[in-house]
Amino acid sequence: MNPDISRERENASFNPEILTNILDGGAEKTRRRREIESLVIGDPDFQHEDLNFLSRSERYDAAVRKSAQMILKLREYGISDPEEIYSYKSIVKGVYQEPFGVHFVMFIPTLNSQCTAEQHKKWIPLAESFRMLGTYAQTELGHGTHIRGLETTATYDPSTQEFVLNSPTISSIKWWPGGLGKTSNHAIVLAQLYTQGKCHGLHAFITPIRCMKTHMPLPGVVVGDIGPKFGFDEVDNGYLKLENVRIPRENMLMKYAKVEPDGTYVKPPSDKLTYGTMVFIRSMIVGESARALSKSCTIAIRYSAVRHQSELRPGEPEPQILDYQAQQYKLFPLLATAYAFHFVGQYMSKTYHRISGYINQGDFSELPELHALSAGLKAFTTWVANAGIELCRMSCGGHGYSRCSSLPDIYVTFTPTCTYEGENTVMMLQTARYLVKSYKQARAGQQLTGTVSYLNEPQSRIQPLSV
Amino acid sequence: SSQPTVVNINDLASLVEAYKFRASKLVEMASKNLQAELQHSKSNEDAWNNNSIDLVRASDAHCHYVFFKTYSDKIMCVKHGDTAVHSVLSTLALLYALHGVALNSGDFLQAGLFTVPQLAQISQRLKGLLSELRPNAVALVDAFDYRDEMLNSALGRYDGNVYEHMFEWAKRSPLNHTEVHESHHKYLKPLQSKL
């Protein structure tokens, strides 16, 4: 043990174990998390060469192998609680991503939340047994966050009771979904629904893209990897061009909106329900921001305790760089932010589950609040965390630039959160729309609830403190 | 009817109020600007676009308030537990709040929540909080409880033996698999022979 870091621990005024228990939600949860982590760390099947020394193809190969092992082990150990699955997966992944990520976090949750009972019975066992490997194909080459502008079409043909899927323009080619390029054999495709000559907006369709036996692309499907990115080297983000691909009527996710066999369209109770999966991911990103920032702070602060540099007073030995006020000013506000993010991440996750519980029971009254809150907090946390990770890297001097610091990997893996599931400025403007609407309601004397309830309060109740 | 509340820069509840007031002011300002723009017979869409900077700022202030309030509420819950832990979490939360005020001082000044001399006071208090946190910094990151295998960082190792592990890691670089890289024979030798 390095003597500097030992001394730091001896001088602390509190027991970190108590704080760990608070962060985990109790001592028992800490114990179980550690137990799960040990299952991975002690497992020779998860040992491999440092990914930094491998080519992209080798990294993808290693990641697929690890993901496959992970699924088998989860079954073998009987880990089924979502929080425990998350713990197990996060230790397997480390600071990297996995090609099955979208299958877990978007494909299965979308099936769970948007399938009818019949569809659920058919698709979920296939998805959970990984015979169906899925992704979520929303973003197109020419269209991102503004999803009403998506161009992919699904035209209903009542004579065969099928939807005909098309990518009518070059800008409509699906672009970016994780696992789409090489891994997946199915995609939930978001497309503009046309029936009886009318467009009914964006709907979700389960679309087979590769043969489940040979894994070859199906007729009319042009699919592949989009090439290297800023990070995410282990993931085959893909493109998908659909040329008159026919799928049965039952492949439209019909829990809310429906198309009858004769082509009659039945509206959903809220248009926002189509974006439910995105709202779920945005809610979870708040916790991800906490993890990325707390990992970066851990690295930068431990290193700052070990690193000695220059001199504070002439003739004295080089001090720990953590003793420099400027270094503290870089790192400690980020440390405080990481803690804030952790607690708010838990709050956001609870809020999502509470409100989505109401939605499942048919109560949509809090959906606008959830929509606005998840969009705003996602944007707020990812902007701050992204800049914070980079500041942690620069707090480590030249060594922060080495991949062995892990900070470059944390940064490139985290950066896309600022754009995926909604570009941040657009997210902030969505929140603003809700705030302006709420402000008008408050001025009109309506009583607001939730996080905007303060807009009902008089503004003259606070004044500056005299110096 | 209630008396005005004074912002106390050492009190979390008072600072939560200040963040709330700032958010409220910025939402009001953005909404009024939007309304004024509409009165100049602009379309809704143009008015929205012409105020998008104010609107993003209002959203940011709202999120900042929700964040700080949630953080502060959580610390109140810890209050009845371990005193030392509660104390260090409170110091962190105060640092978070005052750092936010310093970074967004324009908003707080504009809202009349602080004066310029008070901002200097906040700056001094921030420096004091940095010193208070210094002895607990390593323990605070230890509490996140990331094992070395999860961080995968030579710099962030729990044992602090940074340089030893950096050197070991570098030795595993594929460029070190041979003492002399093949490019030397393929390109540099022919070049040297030609010059």
The residue among B9, B29, B63 with the most chain A CBs within 10 A of its CB, best to mutate, is B63
Report the C-alpha gap between B103 and B101 in whole angstroms.
Answer: 6
Q: What per-residue confidence (pLDDT) applies to B5? A: 63
Check B58 against A465: CB less than 8 A apart: no
Q: What per-residue confidence (pLDDT) applies to B1? A: 36
* pLDDT < 50: residue spans in chain B: 1-3
- Which active-site residues of A does the annotation give? 421
Q: For a pLDDT cut of 70, what percent of chain A falls above it?
A: 97
Helices (H), A179-323: 276-306
Q: What per-residue confidence (pLDDT) applies to A90? A: 83
- A272-312, pLDDT tens digit by residue? 666 677 788 888 899 999 999 999 999 999 999 999 999 88
Check A4 against B160: CB less than 8 A apart: yes
Complex-level ipTM: 0.95
Beta-carbon contacts of residue B22 (< 8 Å; ≥ 6 apart): B61, B64, B65, B104, B107, B108, B111, B113
Check B70 against A344: CB less than 8 A apart: yes
Shortest Cα distance, chain A CAs vs residue B181, angstroms: 16
DSSP state of A420: T
- A16-73, pLDDT tens digit by residue? 999 999 999 999 999 999 999 998 888 888 877 788 899 999 999 999 998 999 989 9
Q: Token digits for A36?
A: 């799960």
Shortest Cα distance, chain A CAs vs residue B195, angstroms: 35
Q: Which residue has the tokens 């290193």?
A: A303
Check B137 against A335: CB less than 8 A apart: yes
Q: What per-residue confidence (pLDDT) applies to B2? A: 47
Q: Which residue of A has its CA nearest to B92?
A: A336
Considering CB atoms only, which of B59, B78, B160 is closest to A435?
A: B59
- Which SS3 state, helix, strand or coil, does residue A463 take? strand
The residue among B55, B86, B140, B148 with the most chain A CBs within 10 A of its CB, best to mutate, is B140
Shortest Cα distance, chain A CAs vs residue B6, angstroms: 5
Q: Phi-psi category of B145—alpha, beta or left, where left has phi over 0 and alpha has psi -120 to 50?
A: left
The residue among B35, B73, B141 with the most chain A CBs within 10 A of its CB, best to mutate, is B141
Q: Which residue of B has its CA nearest to A337?
A: B96
Residues of chain B with Cβ-Cβ distance to A460 below 8 Å are 4
Shortest Cα distance, chain A CAs vs residue B122, angstroms: 11
A354, A263 contact by CB (below 8 A): no
Lowest mean pLDDT among A91-100, A181-190, A394-403, A436-445: A91-100
Check B160 against A451: CB less than 8 A apart: no
A357, A264 contact by CB (below 8 A): no
- Which SS3 state, helix, strand or coil, does residue A217 take? strand
Give the Å distances, CA to CA, from B131 to A312, B125, B126, B127, B134: 16, 10, 9, 7, 5
